[in-house]
Amino acid sequence: MIDKIIPLEKNATQELKQKLVSYLPQITTIISQLTLGICVSFIFVWLQIPVGWLLGSMIGGIIYSAVRGKPQPLPKLFITVGKAFIALATAARFSWDTINVAATYAVPLLLCVLISGCLSLFHGYLLSRWSGIDRVTGLVAFIPGAASSIVPIAEEMGADAVAVAVFQYLRLLLVVLLIPSAAGFFFPVDLNNSMTMAIAPTVADNSSIPMWLNLILLGGCCIVGMWGGNRLRLPAAGFLGTFLVGLAVFWSCPYNLVVPQWLFALGLFCVGLSIGVKFDIKTANKLLKAVLIEIVLVISLILLCVGVGYEFHVFTHVDTITSLLGFTPGGLEAMVATVMQLGGDTGLVLAMQLTRMLIIIALGPWLVNFVMKVANSEQ
């Protein structure tokens, strides 16, 4: 009997070793990506660059993918957990006052969302016209926000899914890279103090609980939020699902829950690195002409959306940084993180960005099909 058990144990040990060996290259790759991302992020934080953990890790990821010559995506869990951590910090700053303010400005908000959406489609039309790619791909490539939702349905709409992925993530890279840097330059603040303020919850100042229990509750919010967001198929499920669960917990919990500063920074790091390592330099080279044109068009779109945001500020008297970041063409998590550090209204920026995202996800494909039908009828 013992002789039979010993061979079974040996076989199990060998299978375990074989599995570990098969996973070793992936583990080595992930460790290399994390190491490079941490090093670049520390440099960005040391240079006092806004959302340095986000931008630094993203640049580190781009460098890694460029050196390897192809995308090196991290397991999806990284970006999902990162979005969940950022969502917790956002929920800690959200209040009923924000909802009331958003409702007060519902009409100008919807009008500005409509204008920015039309500007995006117009830039997509220009991309297809100037670069020679098909019109559907150009229009879908410039649908702002929710890149992870747009890319999977691109092929169903008759677009080139690979090209759409490159254009969508390039747009996201440019927005995440340019907007926080520009905002930090024009609205300089003490980043250390602003980070501490960003994670302070808005609940009543009640007795605190031990940190280990605080972290367990936050972890439960993340798990339930990510699961619920996926089950309900919410846009940006990891972020929005955790945000809603976190909001319910923060508002109902009798204790003063705290989102630690390091947890927020870790969320930024995971999101930035996950975006950066998806950069496909080979596909970008094949679409070089279209990519160069898109860079110019994305910068143009950013400037126009900034103009829309400024007009919203003039009309509603909402503070400038909140208005400008509320209408940027994408990068929800980055814009929320940026407004946290720069002292704007985090909840209102989230409400503005989510309103735009939900409207575009609901109407974007329909608008693209409508534009294509109109174009075909004119030919």
Closest CA to 52 of 345, 343, 324, 334: 334
Q: What long-range pairs does 35-38 form, CB within 8 A, spacing at least 24?
A: 36/60, 36/61, 36/63, 36/64, 37/61, 37/64, 37/269, 37/272, 37/273, 37/276, 38/269
Query: What does the pLDDT read at residue 316?
Result: 85
Amino acid at 126: L
Closest CA to 304 of 116, 26, 88: 116
Closest CA to 359 of 189, 198, 107, 144: 144
Return per-residue pLDDT of the chain as tens, 379 residues: 555 555 555 566 666 666 666 667 788 888 898 999 999 999 988 887 766 787 788 888 888 988 888 888 888 888 888 888 888 887 877 767 666 767 788 888 888 888 888 888 888 889 888 888 888 888 778 877 655 556 555 655 667 766 777 787 778 778 877 877 777 666 665 545 444 444 444 444 445 788 888 889 999 999 999 898 888 877 667 777 888 898 888 888 887 888 888 888 898 898 888 878 887 777 777 778 888 898 899 899 889 988 998 889 888 888 888 888 888 887 677 777 778 777 778 878 877 877 776 676 556 556 666 666 655 665 5
Query: What does the pLDDT read at residue 170?
Result: 79
Q: Give CA–CA dist 372/369, Å, rounded.
A: 5
Q: Give CA–CA dist 175/177, Å, rounded.
A: 5
Query: What does the pLDDT read at residue 223?
Result: 93
Task: Report the alpha-carbon angle 199-179-233, nearest 5.
Answer: 65
Alpha helices in the chain (DSSP H): 2-46, 52-68, 76-91, 96-104, 106-131, 135-141, 147-154, 161-186, 191-198, 211-231, 237-252, 261-276, 281-286, 288-316, 320-326, 332-342, 346-378
Give the position of tokens 């003063």.
256
pTM higher than 0.85 = no
Does the CA dihedral 217-222-227-233 come out positive or negative? positive
* SS3 (DSSP) at 72: coil
- Report yes or no: 181 and 208 within 8 Å, Cβ to Cβ: no
Closest CA to 259 of 331, 203, 322, 332: 203
Q: Indicate the length of the chain as a whole number.
A: 379
- Report yes or no: 154 and 306 within 8 Å, Cβ to Cβ: no
pLDDT tens digits for 251-290?
A: 888 878 888 888 888 988 988 888 788 877 777 777 788 8
HSE, CB side, 13 Å, CA atoms: give it for residue 272: 31
**CA 42 and chain centroid, separation:** 21
Query: What does the pLDDT read at residue 188?
Result: 62
DSSP annotation of 287 reads: T
* SS3 (DSSP) at 248: helix
Query: What does the pLDDT read at residue 202?
Result: 43
Q: What angle do the packed helices 161-186 and 261-276 form, to 10 degrees?
A: 140
Q: Give CA–CA dist 62/241, Å, rounded.
A: 28
Mean per-residue pLDDT over the chain, rounded:
77
